[in-house]
């Protein structure tokens, strides 16, 4: 279909599903009328003035593939029964690879077993010919630079071949073997002078081919499969299946990578006379289960503009349309075709990295690094010379600090009661006349709905005055509204007038409750003192 302006201009039926289409200037006659080249199967059809002009048919395969083809032809000619044929072909496909088989064989193997019989009845008599299938096509100016000059077509095929077609002589001028099946390809330069070709292959590697150079250099292996590839003067940019938008220089080293919001579908570079290094990317993002298209315009890594489209975008092209207006033409998955024109007064920013949106922000954070002062230089020198001393000093002060913290912790425990936010109640009493005393305590969980586990009780005391028989008591769990009783004996070794013992309740490693029990001052006099202590903290729940 050919559109002129916004209405349908002409419609032509193609013999097969096309794989690529481009416009091309085929000769130097005036007025300059471009032709339309369509790659279909193994042919390139060229149309002029909406009428077929000529067609290239790519030559059939030679070299390495003849062997498999002849074997295949033999197999088909023998015409054994379906079962046997399929089996032989399967063996062949294992030996040579599925992609080397001819298309009828491929079809037969891929088909449901029930349908095979029918298929053979209809097509079994046809001759087996290995078809080449074009996967990708691009163009390059033939003899000189400029607009509207004669161009050559470059096509790549499923059999990893590359052909250069000259539309002036209607012939194939060059044929090369390449390392893979090309998915995307861009060319720059002039065919008879110097040119290079950058292409990505199905396994995700990117290669560069130069005129006059036999070797085809592998530039990079992508982290993920490429979706689209474009050339921007001295770099190439790529969008990948992992939603990244990456830029590489022509030697293959990565310059930057941006994570896109959504799955990209197409990429294009603006012509430098409009704005340099400006890229247009179409993405499809899923928002609230609805897939919508977004078009991003990047200047370098800076996001300049975001354009929302209601439907998911299938693909787009960008370029001058009609009378030279910069147009962005896209089609959506539901079959819509839309055209957007660029405003003449559009501003593209300066390419500075300030005022950016979204993903490039993290690259703009400037670290505050002061200049190297004299003191800094001296210090580094000293550090280098006296590292051992410095380390020893550091260790010492580190230990000192540790001790200090431990001391203050202990101090805090002794001098104040700790009560964490668990509703525990502790009651303690000292029984006996001494020197052997009995400490009895009750622990109660006054929370109604919380079970305390891993609770332990220990004591803090002056070891010169007392010795406690059971200094560590473990309480597996404290059930709510149940008084847990525990007791221990305390031996008094010295007769001291005033003293106390701290009871500490721990939960795992944390002190959650502490209480001070005053000891009877004259133990030998036989007085019994009662201490009732409660530390109840309001529940937090």
Partner 1 sequence: MGLLDKLIGAFGLKKKEARILVLGLNNSGKSTLLNQLKNEDSKIISEVVPTVGFNVEKFKNQNVGFTAFDMSGQGRYRELWENYYKDCEGIIFVIDSSDKLRLAVVKDELDLLIQHPDIVAKCIPILFLANKKDLRDGMSSIKIASSLHLERIQDKPWHICTTNALSGEGLQEGIQWLTQQICDKFK
The residue ranges that bind partner 1 (CB under 8 A) are 5-7, 321-326, 339, 341, 343-345
Choose between 7 and 415: whose C-beta lies nearer to partner 1.
7
- For the bound state, the minimum distance from the C-beta of residue 323 to partner 1, rounded and expressed in Å, comes to 5
**Nearest approach, Cβ of residue 348 and partner 1 (Å):** 15
Phi and psi (nearest 5°) for 349? 70, 180
**Minimum distance from residue 343 beta carbon to partner 1 (Å):** 6
Closer residue to partner 1, CB minimum distance, 6 or 169: 6
Q: Identify which of residues 105 and 326 has a Cβ nearer to partner 1 in the complex.
A: 326
DSSP-based three-state secondary structure for 89: helix
In this structure, are residues 529 and 502 in contact, taking their beta carbons and an 8 Å threshold? no
Q: How far is the CB of 307 from partner 1 (least distance, A)?
A: 15
- Strand ordering across the sheet containing 510-518: 472-478, 452-460, 500-507, 510-518
Which residue has 């400029």 as its token pair? Answer: 146
CB 231 within 8 A of CB 198: yes
- Cβ-based nearer residue to partner 1, 203 or 341: 341
User: In this structure, how many other beta carbons lie within 10 angstroms of the beta carbon of residue 198?
Assistant: 22
Angle at the Cα of 417 from the Cα atoms of 414 and 423, rounded to 5 degrees: 145
Tokens of 386: 């006296």
Q: Compare residues 344 and 366 and give the one whose CB is closer to partner 1.
A: 344
Six token digits for residue 100: 């080397």
Nearer residue to partner 1 within complex by CB, 274 or 494: 274
- In the complex, the smallest distance separating the C-beta of residue 324 from partner 1, rounded to whole angstroms, is 6
Q: How far apart are the first and last CA of the chain?
A: 72
Compute the least distance from the CB of residue 5 to partner 1, in Å.
4
Nearest to residue 145, comparing CAs of 188, 195, 211, 190?
190
Q: Measure the CA–CA gap between 474 and 470, rounded to whole angstroms.
A: 10
CB of 345 to partner 1, least distance (A): 7
Asked if 211 and 196 touch (Cβ cutoff 8 Å), the reply is: yes
What is the sign, positive or negative, of the torsion defined by CA atoms of 162, 167, 169, 171? positive
Smallest gap from Cβ 283 to partner 1, in A, equals 24
CB of 131 to partner 1, least distance (A): 40
| CA nearest neighbour of 439 among 352, 528, 325, 350 | 528
Which CB, 341 or 355, lies closer to partner 1? 341
Q: Which of 44, 46, 48 is nearest to 57 (CA)?
A: 44
The distance of closest approach from Cβ of residue 8 to partner 1 in the complex, given in angstroms and rounded to an integer, is 11
When the beta carbons of 9 and 170 are compared against partner 1, the nearer one is 9
Specify whether the CB–CB gap between 299 and 280 falls below 8 A.
Answer: no
Smallest distance, Å, CB 146 to partner 1? 17
CA 273 to chain CA centroid, nearest Å = 33
How far, in Å, CA of 512 to CA of 506, rounded? Answer: 5
Question: How would you write 109-123 as a 3-class SS string?
Answer: HHCCHHHHHHHHHHH
Nearer to partner 1, 6 or 253 (CB): 6
Do the Cβ atoms of 45 and 52 come closer than 8 Å? Answer: yes
Taking the complex as a whole, the smallest distance from the CB of residue 90 to partner 1 amounts, in Å, to 55
Residue nearer to partner 1 on the CB measure, 131 or 331: 331
Q: Which is nearer to partner 1, 2 or 290 (CB)?
A: 2
> Considering beta carbons, is residue 339 or 471 the nearer one to partner 1?
339
Min CB(334)–partner 1 separation in Å = 21
| Contact between 477 and 442 (Cβ < 8 Å) | no
Q: Are 165 and 172 in contact (CB under 8 A)?
A: yes
Closer residue to partner 1 (CB): 8 or 361: 8
Alpha carbon distance 23, 45 (integer Å):
11
3-state secondary structure at position 84: helix
Q: What is the DSSP letter of 23?
A: E
Contact assessment for residue 441 and residue 430, using Cβ atoms and an 8 Å cutoff: no
Could you give the CA distance from residue 387 to residue 393 in angstroms, rounded to a whole number?
Answer: 10
Question: In this structure, are residues 349 and 356 in contact, taking their beta carbons and an 8 Å threshold?
Answer: no
Whether the Cβ atoms of residue 264 and residue 227 lie closer than 8 Å to each other? yes
């Amino acid at each position: 279909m050919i559109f002129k302006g916004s209405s349908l201009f002409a419609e032509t039926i193609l013999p097969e599903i096309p794989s690529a289409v481009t416009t091309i200037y085929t000769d130097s006659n005036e007025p300059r009328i471009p032709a339309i080249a369509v790659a279909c199967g193994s042919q390139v059809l060229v149309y002029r003035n909406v009428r077929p002009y000529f067609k290239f048919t790519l030559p059939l395969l030679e070299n390495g593939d003849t062997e498999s083809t002849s074997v295949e032809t033999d197999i088909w000619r023998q015409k054994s029964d379906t079962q046997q044929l399929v089996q032989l072909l399967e063996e062949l496909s294992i030996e040579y690879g599925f992609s080397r088989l001819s298309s009828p064989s491929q079809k037969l193997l891929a088909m449901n077993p029930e349908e095979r019989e029918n298929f053979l009845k209809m097509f079994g008599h046809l001759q087996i010919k290995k078809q080449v299938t074009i996967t990708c096509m691009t163009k390059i100016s033939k003899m000189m630079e400029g607009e509207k000059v004669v161009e050559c077509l470059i096509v790549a095929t499923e059999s990893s071949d590359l052909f250069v077609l000259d539309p002036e002589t209607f012939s194939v001028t060059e044929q090369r073997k390449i390392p893979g099946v090309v998915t995307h390809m861009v060319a720059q330069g002039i065919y008879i002078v110097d040119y290079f070709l950058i292409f990505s292959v199905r396994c995700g590697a990117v290669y560069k081919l130069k005129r006059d150079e036999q070797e085809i250099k592998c530039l990079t292996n992508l982290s993920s499969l490429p979706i689209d590839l474009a050339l921007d003067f001295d770099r190439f940019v790529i969008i990948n299946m992992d939603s990244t938008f990456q830029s590489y220089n022509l030697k293959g080293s990565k310059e930057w990578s941006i994570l896109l919001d959504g799955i990209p579908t197409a990429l294009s570079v603006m012509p430098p006379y409009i704005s340099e290094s400006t890229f247009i990317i179409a993405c499809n993002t899923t928002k609230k289960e609805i897939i919508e298209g977004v078009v991003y315009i990047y200047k370098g890594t800076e996001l300049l503009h975001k354009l929302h489209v209601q439907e998911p975008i299938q693909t787009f092209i960008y370029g001058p349309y009609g009378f030279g207006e910069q147009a962005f033409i896209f089609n959506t998955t539901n079959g819509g075709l839309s055209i957007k024109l660029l405003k003449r007064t559009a501003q593209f920013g300066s390419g500075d990295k300030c005022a950016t949106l979204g993903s490039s922000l993290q690259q703009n954070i400037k670290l505050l690094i002061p200049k190297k002062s004299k003191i800094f230089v001296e210090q580094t020198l000293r550090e280098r010379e006296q590292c051992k001393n410095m380390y020893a000093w550091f260790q010492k002060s580190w230990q000192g600090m540790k001790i200090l913290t431990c001391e203050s912790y202990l101090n805090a425990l002794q001098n104040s009661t700790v009560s964490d936010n668990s509703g525990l109640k502790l009651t303690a009493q000292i029984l006996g006349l001494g020197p052997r005393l009995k400490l009895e305590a009750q622990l109660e969980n006054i929370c109604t709905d919380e079970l305390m586990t891993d609770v332990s009780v220990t004591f803090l005391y002056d070891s010169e005055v007392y010795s406690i028989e059971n200094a560590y008591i473990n309480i597996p769990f404290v059930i709510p509204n149940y008084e847990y009783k525990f007791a221990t004996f305390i031996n008094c070794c010295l007769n001291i007038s005033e003293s106390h013992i701290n009871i500490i309740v721990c939960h795992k490693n944390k002190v959650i409750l502490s209480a001070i029990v005053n000891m009877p001052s004259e133990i030998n006099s036989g007085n019994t003192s009662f201490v009732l202590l409660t530390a109840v903290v309001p529940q937090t729940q």
